[in-house]
């Protein structure tokens, strides 16, 4: 079954108007995670052109048939295509498209005509071209703000087309609902003839968090792990253009603000730097009958070649040489560059070159090797991270208690019980408020990127000999909290403190610890102890019910050590979703039209203002710890499960998770796709909310 993409092109800017219409559409976040690149100091283009965009967004390759083309790209050329039989609607009315994603976040967009649709008007020229030709006829650069791109290029004397807004989202023909990965995009182009594209488009995606581009290493490292191509391609290094007038085209790219690369430039070529190692290359024919002359005569100025970085050029040669017909591949096993001629690549020349040494070395440092152990380069880098940031308190050999009673990180019990959950990850990311353990995640002001924390965790697990994590139940532990208080005072307080403040052992009266540790995690620590530390296994001295009681008591301290008794948790009914329904609404000041600060939400709760608070985590997580008044709406539920019972009026809807934006962002996208306008994401998430000392509720 082919999933269709719905696209709405809306012209929202004319020559005499600034992009206020665009601004009110709102900017939606990205996920992962969780980006100016880690090498942003090397960028020479002005922020106004691409801002925090990541470089080459995509190149569009027009082909006659998507089915046979996708087979050729995967089986012969060695590209990996996820869901290669699921086509979306193309950038033009009457077309289908299929993306080939690359690790550096660029992509090749295969686009073909949909013969079942009759199209007239401006898009008919594109379809007429598709009937006769194949080739790469468009490319785009990533911009974190097409508004700024438009204004910058206009100030440089370029005449601009209108900004366009469109949706790209998979949708089943049997369903009217958007999928979770629906995405709104904005594009802007320099005005030019439709099919003479030596100048780029600029694309902004609302599902990407450009603020996080300083974490480029994280994005790129995970991309190399999860978008592995059999031909060894790790990124789109250059768009190579053929132009009739090199001097004129050169002047245009200079006016854009791109910086020339002086190295290896000749009379027939000019290179311009984009982001990191990416380039735009301008070329002209060397002779009247060479390949570039023939290209110009047939198609005019445009994309002549796509240049890819590969991990191992010899391995790439071995793969391609075995699959391509004789005469298709230029180069041999000793070449530093390989070329697949355009007759064998749907009208565009494909060039493969060995990736730069610095890029390869960076990739090796962060190579997580999910299915095996760390390579020596990554292991050495992890050891350096530990020595720099962890050894002071946790000891040179991870033995613990070198300073501030920091626990041993050699404990198999601790590492095994945290591998299958986020306890250790969140501990490093967010720290422990009012303890010596600071938050080390860059987003919280620390020195580490996400990928560095992941690398450090993997090294710790491997160093402790943890191959498989202990499966810890996520179900609440029910027990007699009053009995647990008595046992704690008798058996635990001497080390952990009467109020959990920590004396010679870690502080347990810490909101961040109790917000990240599940009941099962706490129970496992009590029962099994921590090998290599003074923490004994209490399963030898306490009954199962007594261990449950201590666990329940610790959970009851999530809102503070002096809280006398835990709450009885009940999921609110729809009639209770709106907090303080008879009160005025808050006046939230949103960052990027989307994120509301924890301070504002906490003040709205204190002032008893009217709004809805949604918890996007699992219902189990909500039961353990949540913000007072929050309603569990798990991110993985289909929108039909909740849109009919959440008010869609002037009432603000604030969504939070722990990530702090991934799960909550998915729920907000679903709401906005269904017409909800007054929606926002709690910027810091519940973990920082708890760390700030704001109120939380917890279940028994």
Domains of the chain: 4-207 (3.10.180.10), 225-359 (3.10.180.10), 367-463 (1.10.760.10), 481-556 (1.10.760.10), 574-698 (3.40.250.10)
pLDDT of residue 324: 97
366 neighbors 451 (Cβ within 8 angstroms): yes
Helix (H), strand (E), coil (C) string for 335-388: CCEEEECHHHCCCCEEEEEECCHHHHHHHHHCCCCCCCCCCHHHHHHHHHHHHH
pLDDT of residue 178: 35
pLDDT of residue 114: 77
pLDDT of residue 183: 65
CA gap 81, 70 in Å, rounded: 8
The candidate with the shortest Cα–Cα distance to 698, out of 540, 511, 539, 520, is 511
The candidate with the shortest Cα–Cα distance to 654, out of 597, 606, 694, 698, is 597
CA atoms within 13 A on the CB side of 341: 12
CA gap 411, 533 in Å, rounded: 8
pLDDT of residue 191: 82
User: Which residues have C-beta within 8 Å of that of residue 579, sequence separation ≥ 6?
Assistant: 605, 608, 609, 610, 611, 612, 613, 629
pLDDT of residue 167: 66
pLDDT of residue 637: 81
DSSP, collapsed to helix, strand or coil, labels residue 198 as coil
The candidate with the shortest Cα–Cα distance to 60, out of 99, 103, 102, is 99
Round to the nearest angstrom and report the end-to-end CA distance of the chain: 46
Question: Tokens 């599940």 appear where?
Answer: 518
All residue ranges of the chain with pLDDT < 70 are 1-47, 91, 115-132, 167-183, 192-196, 264, 434, 559, 562-568, 699-700
pLDDT of residue 244: 92
Q: What is the pTM of this model?
A: 0.77
CA gap 328, 332 in Å, rounded: 12
pLDDT of residue 379: 97
* pLDDT tens figures, 94-122: 788 899 999 999 999 999 887 666 656 66
């Amino acid at each position: 079954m082919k999933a269709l993409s719905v696209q709405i092109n809306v012209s929202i800017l004319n020559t005499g108007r600034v992009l206020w219409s665009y601004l009110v559409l709102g900017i939606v976040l990205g996920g992962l995670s969780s980006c100016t690149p880690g090498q942003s100091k090397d960028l020479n283009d002005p922020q106004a052109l691409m801002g925090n965009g990541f470089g080459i967004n995509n190149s569009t390759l027009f082909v006659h048939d998507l089915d046979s083309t996708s087979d050729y790209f995967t089986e012969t050329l060695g590209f990996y295509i996820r869901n290669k039989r699921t086509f979306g609607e193309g950038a033009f009315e009457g077309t289908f498209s299929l993306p080939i994603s690359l690790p550096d976040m660029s992509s090749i967009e295969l686009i073909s005509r949909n013969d079942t649709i009759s199209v007239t008007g401006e898009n008919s020229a594109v379809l007429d071209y598709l009937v006769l030709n194949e080739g790469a006829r468009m490319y785009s650069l990533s911009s974190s703000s097409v508004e700024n791109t438009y204004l910058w290029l206009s100030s440089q004397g370029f005449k601009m087309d209108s900004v366009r807004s469109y949706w790209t989202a998979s949708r089943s023909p049997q369903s009217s609902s958007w999928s979770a990965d629906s995405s709104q995009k904005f594009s802007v182009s320099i005005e030019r003839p439709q099919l003479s594209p030596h100048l780029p488009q600029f694309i902004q995606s609302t599902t990407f968090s450009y603020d996080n581009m300083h974490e480029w290493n994280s994005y790129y490292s995970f991309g190399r792990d999860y978008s592995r191509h059999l031909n060894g391609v790790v990124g789109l290094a250059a768009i190579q253009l053929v132009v009739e007038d090199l001097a004129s085209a050169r002047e245009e790219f200079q006016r854009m603000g791109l910086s020339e690369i002086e190295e290896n430039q000749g009379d027939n070529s000019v290179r311009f730097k984009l982001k990191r190692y990416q380039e735009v290359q301008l070329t002209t024919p060397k002779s009247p009958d060479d390949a570039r002359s023939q290209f110009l005569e047939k198609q005019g100025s445009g994309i002549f070649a796509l240049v890819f970085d590969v991990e191992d050029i010899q391995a790439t040669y071995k793969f391609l040489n075995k699959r391509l017909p004789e005469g298709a591949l230029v180069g041999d096993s000793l070449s530093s560059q390989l070329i697949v001629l355009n007759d064998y690549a749907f009208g565009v020349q494909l060039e493969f070159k060995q990736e730069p040494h610095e890029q390869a070395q960076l990739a090796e440092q962060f190579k997580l090797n999910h299915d095996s152990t760390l390579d020596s380069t990554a292991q050495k880098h992890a050891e350096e991270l530990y020595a720099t940031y962890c050894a002071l308190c946790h000891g040179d050999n991870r033995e613990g208690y070198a300073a501030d009673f920091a626990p041993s990180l050699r404990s198999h019990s601790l590492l095994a019980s945290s591998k299958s959950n986020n306890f250790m990850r969140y501990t490093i990311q967010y720290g422990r408020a009012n303890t010596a353990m600071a938050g080390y995640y860059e987003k919280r002001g620390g020195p580490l990127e996400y990928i560095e924390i992941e690398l450090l965790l993997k090294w710790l697990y491997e160093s402790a000999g943890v191959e498989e994590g202990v499966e810890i139940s996520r179900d609440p532990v029910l027990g007699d909290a009053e009995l647990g208080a008595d046992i704690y005072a008798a058996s635990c307080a001497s080390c952990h403190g009467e109020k959990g403040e920590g004396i010679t052992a870690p502080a347990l009266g810490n909101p961040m610890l109790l917000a990240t540790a599940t009941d099962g995690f706490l129970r496992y620590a009590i029962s099994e102890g921590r090998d290599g530390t003074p923490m004994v296994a209490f399963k030898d001295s306490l009954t199962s019910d007594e261990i449950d009681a201590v666990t329940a008591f610790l959970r009851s301290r999530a809102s503070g050590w002096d809280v006398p008794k835990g709450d009885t948790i009940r999921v609110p009914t729809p009639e209770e979703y709106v907090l303080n329904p008879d009160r005025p609404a808050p006046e939230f000041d949103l960052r990027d039209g989307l994120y509301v600060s924890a301070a504002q939400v906490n003040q709205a709760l204190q002032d008893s203002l009217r709004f809805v608070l949604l918890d996007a985590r699992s219902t189990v997580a909500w039961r353990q710890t949540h913000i007072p008044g929050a309603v569990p709406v798990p991110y993985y539920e289909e929108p039909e499960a909740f849109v009919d019972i959440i008010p869609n009026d002037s009432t603000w809807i604030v969504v939070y998770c722990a990530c702090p934006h991934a799960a909550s962002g998915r729920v907000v996208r679903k709401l906005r796709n269904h017409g909800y306008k007054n929606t926002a994401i709690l910027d810091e998430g519940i973990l920082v909310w708890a760390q700030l000392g704001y109120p939380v509720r917890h279940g028994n």
